[in-house]
Amino acid sequence: MPATPDPEERRVRLPGGWLAYWLRRSARSRTLRVTIDPRRGVVVSVPLATRRGWARPEREVERFLADREGWIRRHVVRQERLRAVVRSRGGVADGAEFRYLGELHRLRLVAAAPSVRRSVVERSGAEDRDELLIQLARRDRRSAAVVLEAWLRERAGDAIDRAVAAHAPALRVQPERITLRDPRTRWGSATRQRTLSFSWRLILAPPSALETVVVHELAHLRVFGHGPRFWDLVAARRPDHLLWRRWLRLHSHELHAALDAPDAEALAGDWPAGEEPEGEA
């Protein structure tokens, strides 16, 4: 398989002015798709140049962007506002706000007792807001963000295992393997080898959103593809799945930036994590 080239930063002049975007070539792409990525902004995904008709996609890309310019600019502005909100919460610092199980918690960073060798995280209630207490051990070289991520990953694994146990029997499926990852473009995936993969960041979302993703991927063990039979399976277990799919789309940037420093602006890499307009080229 040909190597996938790095994304290229480009810009195009549209009726509303210049628009910057990233051109991403993907072996998985069969046509043109535009996504508003939480980190990069506008990302145009196209097939590899070796695919017939896609060696020079510039004209098709410009037409596609011009046709959807209004939608694109509205959502770019929205993403910028969301980034400002996330930055204002303070990152992983004492007194910052942090979403866990769909609810905002206050972070408290304190020094652990001298005898404690390893940093720990505890959840506790407070008068105005629940708190996540990170007790940092002097002998533990890990940063507060690394300590918190390890704690969150463990709870994500437990929550996903419980959701699988609750829904797999009713769907008459059983995964061979379940893994936790940190993808930028999907909340979950399933393979024909019956391996399910999930984003550990689902633990930051409401439990119903996490459960919806689990049901979605379990249903793929019965039906690969997104036809009517597949959606009937999902709706049978989560009649409100559209509500929680939308919640994940709207909060994608927040969940993926949850452990970033307040001023971080690193680049990001089917449950799309970004937002995309209706229609494809």
Q: What are the φ/ψ torsions at residue 248 (nearest 5 degrees)?
A: -65, -40
Res 261: pLDDT? 61
Residue 164: the pLDDT is: 98
Of 90 and 219, more confident: 219
Q: What pLDDT is recorded for position 271?
A: 34
Closest C-alpha among 194, 209, 218 to residue 273: 209
Confidence of residue 267 (pLDDT cuts 50, 70, 90): very low
| Domains detected in the chain | 8-88 (no CATH), 97-256 (3.30.2010.10)
Tell me the average pLDDT across 146-172. 97
Given a contact cutoff of 8 angstroms between Cβ atoms, the answer to whether 175 and 221 are in contact is yes
C-alpha closest to that of 71 among 34, 45, 38, 39 = 34
Section 17-27 average pLDDT: 91
Most confident of the following: 9-23, 26-40, 74-88, 188-202: 188-202
Residue 163 clears pLDDT 60, i.e. is over it = yes
pLDDT at 87: 82
Locate the DSSP E strands across the chain.
Answer: 8-14, 17-26, 33-37, 41-47, 97-100, 103-111, 120-124, 131-136, 177-181, 188-190, 195-199
Smallest Cα–Cα separation from 156: which of 90, 205, 96, 89? 205
Residue 51, pLDDT > 90, answer no
Any idea which residue has 């419980």 for tokens? Answer: 162
Percent of the chain with pLDDT over 70: 90
**Tokens 């918190």 identify what position?**
148
The yes-or-no verdict on residue 236 having pLDDT over 50 is yes
Q: What is the mean pLDDT of residues 250-273?
A: 61
- The stretch 24-37 carries a mean pLDDT of 86
Q: What is the pLDDT of residue 5?
A: 78
Residue 274 has pLDDT above 70, yes or no: no
The listed range with the strongest mean pLDDT (6-15, 25-34, 210-219) is 210-219
> Is the pLDDT confidence value at 84 over 90?
no
Is residue 272's pLDDT more than 70? Answer: no
Look at residue 279 in the predicted model and tell me its pLDDT: 37
Q: Which comes out higher in pLDDT, residue 163 or 129?
A: 163
Output b/e per residue, 127-151; b: 16+ Cβ within 10 A.
Answer: eeeebbbbbbbeebeeebbebbbeb
> Which pLDDT value is given to residue 270?
35
Q: How far apart are CA 224 and CA 63, in angstroms?
A: 32
Q: How confident is the model at residue 3 (pLDDT cuts 50, 70, 90)?
A: low
